[in-house]
Amino acid sequence: MSSTNESIATQPFATLYSFRRCPYAMRARMSILLNGITVQLREILLKDKPTQMLLCSPKGTVPVLVLANGQVIDESDAIMSWARDNSDNSAFDAPSDEQLALISDNDSWFKAALDHYKYHDRHPEQSQSYYREQGEVFLQQLEQQLITQDYLFGTQQSYADIAIFPFVRQFAHVDKTWFEQAPYPALHRWLAVFIQSDSFEQAMIKHPPWQVNDATTYFPN
Ligand SMILES: N[C@@H](CCC(=O)N[C@@H](CS)C(=O)NCC(=O)O)C(=O)O
């Protein structure tokens, strides 16, 4: 949905280049939403990235946030922190070293295992179940943390929960039947809280790819 509301349009908004299905972009959108920030949203296609985005961030990954003053933030964790730091009512504390270590595991070897599991036909050196078992090492670690508490680092949603759940969701979606019967009850419960939340529903609303002459789309809207 687009808006040309004048009172909104006169305020200086940051612009978020995003791709709906990208887990890095999901963590950025969730953080923006939960921290009560509004941005201008530009949905992109990875196979046809807008020149305007590439001029701001030549490395060509999403998410990219361009602030009203022109500053570019093109790493998802930095966008999460920016949303938290610019919120009147922060949704979570700044991440602890333990949270950052877990996110680093997520973004490195778990993400690699996830990609190999999902696109196993491109990696025929090993079987799909081999790659899945590699990813399960991370799932087991999360399960251990979630057995005794609702969220990864306690009773409240943390930066790490928001950063990690989109990747676990993607892992679950590779083979939903397998995931549903896998022995991770605490992880299932935790993931369902996010996937079934109103915030996630809002973060996953479909938008057509942005084009230069489009009316501004605000997120959330
Ligand atoms: N380290 C980056 C990674 C972002 C990333 O790799 N995003 C993927 C989409 S999920 C991407 O844009 N890939 C570029 C492409 O496929 O052309 C971040 O945290 O923002």
**Nearest protein CA to atom 12 of ligand 1, as residue:** 61
Strand partners, 17: 42, 64
pLDDT tens-digit series, residues 94-115: 999 999 999 999 999 999 999 9
Kindly report the pTM of this predicted structure: 0.95
- 63 in any annotated domain: yes
Pair (179, 134) in one structural domain = yes
Would you give the DSSP letter of residue 210? P
pLDDT tens-digit series, residues 118-166: 999 999 999 999 999 999 999 999 999 999 999 999 999 999 999 999 9
Which atom, in ligand 1's list, is nearest to the CA of 19? 9
- At 23, which CATH number? 3.40.30.10
Whole-number Å distance, alpha carbon 19 to ligand 1 midpoint, is 9
- 11 in any annotated domain: yes
pLDDT at 12: 87
Pair (66, 150) in one structural domain = no
- 72 in any annotated domain: yes
Whole-number Å distance, alpha carbon 24 to ligand 1 midpoint, is 7
**pLDDT above 70 (res 10):** no
**Rounded average pLDDT over 4-10:** 47
Pair (58, 38) in one structural domain = yes
Mean pLDDT across the chain, nearest whole number? 95
Pair (123, 158) in one structural domain = yes
The percent of residues above 70 in pLDDT, for the chain, comes to 95
For residue 123, which of 115, 133, 132 has the smallest C-alpha distance? 115
Structural domain containing residue 146: 97-199
- 215 in any annotated domain: yes
Which residue ranges have their beta carbon within 6 Å of ligand 1?
19, 22, 24, 46, 60-63, 75-76
Pair (192, 106) in one structural domain = yes
pLDDT at 212: 95
The β-bridge relationship of strands 218-219 and 39-43 is: antiparallel
pLDDT band at 11 (very low <50, low <70, confident <90, very high): low
pLDDT tens-digit series, residues 36-83: 999 999 999 999 999 999 999 999 999 999 999 999 999 999 999 999
Whole-number Å distance, alpha carbon 183 to ligand 1 midpoint, is 30
- 1 in any annotated domain: no
**Nearest protein CA to atom 9 of ligand 1, as residue:** 22
Q: How many domains does the chain have?
A: 2
- At 181, which CATH number? 1.20.1050.10
For residue 52, which of 215, 212, 214, 208 has the smallest C-alpha distance? 212
| 122 class by beta-carbon count within 10 Å (0-12 exposed, 13-18 middle, 19+ buried) | exposed
For residue 112, which of 97, 98, 102, 123 has the smallest C-alpha distance? 123
Strand partners, 18: 43
Pair (13, 87) in one structural domain = yes
* Pocket residue to mutate for ligand 1, from 20, 45, 61, most atoms within 8 A of Cβ: 61
Per the listing, tokens 């950052």 go with 100
pLDDT band at 2 (very low <50, low <70, confident <90, very high): very low
Phi-psi region of 89 (alpha: psi -120 to 50; beta: other; left: phi over 0): beta
